[in-house]
Amino acid sequence: MNTKTNFLLPHKFQIAGWWGLLASAAIFAILLCTKIYVPQLYTPPILLVTIPFLISLLLICISCEKIDDEYINALRSRII
- Closest by CA to 20, choosing from 63, 64, 60, is 60
Kindly provide the residue ranges of all beta strands, DSSP E only, lying in the chain, ordered along the sequence: none
**Distance from C-alpha of 70 to C-alpha of 4, rounded to nearest angstrom:** 13
Question: pTM (2 decimals)?
Answer: 0.67
Domain boundaries, the chain: 11-79
Write the CB contacts of 68 (distance below 8 Å, at least 6 apart in sequence).
Answer: none
Mean pLDDT per 10-residue segment, the chain (80 residues): 63 91 88 68 70 90 78 73
What's the pLDDT score for residue 21?
A: 92
Vertex 66: Cα angle to 60 and 72 (nearest 5)? 75
